[in-house]
Amino acid sequence: MKTSEFKGFYKLSPEQRLAEVAKFSDLTQAEVDLLSTSSALDIHAADHMIENVFSIMPLPMGVAVNFKINDKDYLIPMAVEEPSVVAAASNAARMARVKGGYFTSNTGPIMRAQIQIVNVADPYAARLKLFEAREKLMEIANSKDPMLISLGGGMKDLEVHIIPSPLGDMVIMHLIADTRDAMGANTVNTMAEALAPHIEQITGGRVYLRILSNLADLRLVRVRAVIDKEALGGEEVVDGIVWAYTFAAVDPYRAATHNKGIMNGIIPVVTATGNDTRAIEAGAHAYAARNGRYTSLTTWEKNSDGDLVGTIEIPMAVGLVGGATKVHPIARLAVKILGVKSAVELGEVIAAVGLAQNMAALRALATEGIQRGHMSLHARNVAVAAGATPDIIDTVVAAMVKERKVRQDYAEELVKQLKG
């Protein structure tokens, strides 16, 4: 059986790590070659992705190890500029393995689009007229994408909300669609635009906006894990993490930072797979505020055995088809390395990384603080920026950490000394 569990993975060279990833994910030599170049995205391909392209911004891509999710092992590519993120996720996943890893569920790949209808004389009657036209509207929306219908997707329902506003009552129709393995923005936006004239006719109002909602609360993924108290460092650490979580649960100032730590795990996988990071951020934070007060996206409790139990529930509008995921060669390979078979599976893996990342941060914060671990990794960046060459990086880092002086000026001084 394939295992993602590694000891001392961090001690390998990038080439050795790539060889391990290639073995795990059955990569071809051509795929390995592509992953070894720092310019795998051709400038002309990039030019077709966005406008005014003049260069490419490469990011380091690490791989998180040790993840077991629903009894399946994953190696997880993470593209991110922040040190310590990949190490922390891998470390947390190793602790979670003791009690079986991560367990998931989801609400399916269901997206909402909103259609804003104004100047309706009788909004309550208009609401019911839209419900009466439900089948007809679904038929029109579903005529737009026969492929999606053949895969079991398509518009499935509608909701109608009447929302008072300073300009008068607005009738807001929500188009609810199953977008299968697509992120779904294009799918639901096309459907919403196609329905607009029919909706104007039905309601007698004027349609303005026709656009998806990033508050993808019908596209939730849920992940749960039990973390063995001994693996964590004892029951005192469990209590510390529960206190740390409770702080975020009741205080929006802390919740913002707590959730940022979750996004430290989530966004790098979203980036690596070519998905829309802004959509994920918007959905996550809007969901965290859904009850009128911004709060934690995770929960942490102590179970009757004294172990730590964590959960996350988060909107996850990611896709495997369409967008950069299929166009960007590295994003395609990231999906292959993950070995995910559906957008929903990808979403669950991403949320598991978020939960792991959150646990790692809370554990550090509730015990020794994050600076010691963070600083030794940060020190590498400082050393490189100060001109340390590969032969002296480790020495410069060790000296800065030992002296607790992780600073550019001190690094420059050390480099000067070492280079004689």
Residue 176 vs 370, nearer CB to ligand MEV: 370
Q: Which stretch binds ligand MEV (CB under 6 A): 40-48, 190-198, 255-263, 307-315?
A: 255-263
The answer to whether 295 contacts ligand MEV (rule: CB under 6 A) is: no
Residue 131 vs 253, nearer CB to ligand MEV: 253
The answer to whether 258 contacts ligand MEV (rule: CB under 6 A) is: yes
Q: Would residue 157 show up in a list of annotated catalytic residues for this protein?
A: no
Q: Would residue 276 show up in a list of annotated catalytic residues for this protein?
A: yes
Written as six digits, the tokens of 352 are 């598991």
Query: Interaction with ligand MEV in 50-109: which residues (CB under 6 A)?
Result: none
The answer to whether 298 contacts ligand MEV (rule: CB under 6 A) is: no
Q: Would residue 82 show up in a list of annotated catalytic residues for this protein?
A: yes
* CA-CA-CA-CA dihedral for 372, 377, 379, 385, to nearest 10: -160
Residue selected from 66, 90, 142, 264 as contacting ligand MEV according to rule CB under 6 A:
264
Residue that is written with structure tokens 């998180």 in the block: 64
**Nearest CA-CA partner of 287 in 252, 315, 322:** 315
**Nearest CA-CA partner of 252 in 291, 209, 283:** 291
The answer to whether 261 contacts ligand MEV (rule: CB under 6 A) is: yes
> Can you tell me the distance from the alpha carbon of 289 to that of 337, in angstroms, rounded to the nearest whole number?
34
The answer to whether 260 contacts ligand MEV (rule: CB under 6 A) is: yes
> Can you tell me the distance from the alpha carbon of 171 to that of 356, in angstroms, rounded to the nearest whole number?
41
The answer to whether 361 contacts ligand MEV (rule: CB under 6 A) is: yes
Q: Which of 276, 307, 345, 348 is catalytic?
A: 276
The answer to whether 370 contacts ligand MEV (rule: CB under 6 A) is: yes
* DSSP-derived secondary structure for 224-256: EEEE-HHHHT-HHHHHHHHHHHHHHHH-HHHHH
Q: Which stretch binds ligand MEV (CB under 6 A): 73-81, 254-262, 311-319, 382-390?
A: 254-262
> Can you tell me the distance from the alpha carbon of 312 to that of 104, in angstroms, rounded to the nearest whole number?
10
**Closest chain position to ligand MEV (CB):** 261
- Minimum CB separation of residue 310 from ligand MEV in Å reads 13
Q: Would residue 44 show up in a list of annotated catalytic residues for this protein?
A: no
> Can you tell me the distance from the alpha carbon of 5 to that of 231, in angstroms, rounded to the nearest whole number?
15
> Can you tell me the distance from the alpha carbon of 401 to that of 60, in angstroms, rounded to the nearest whole number?
23
Positions in the binding site for ligand MEV (CB under 6 A): 257-258, 260-261, 264, 361, 365, 370
Among all residues, which ones are annotated catalytic? 82, 260, 276, 374
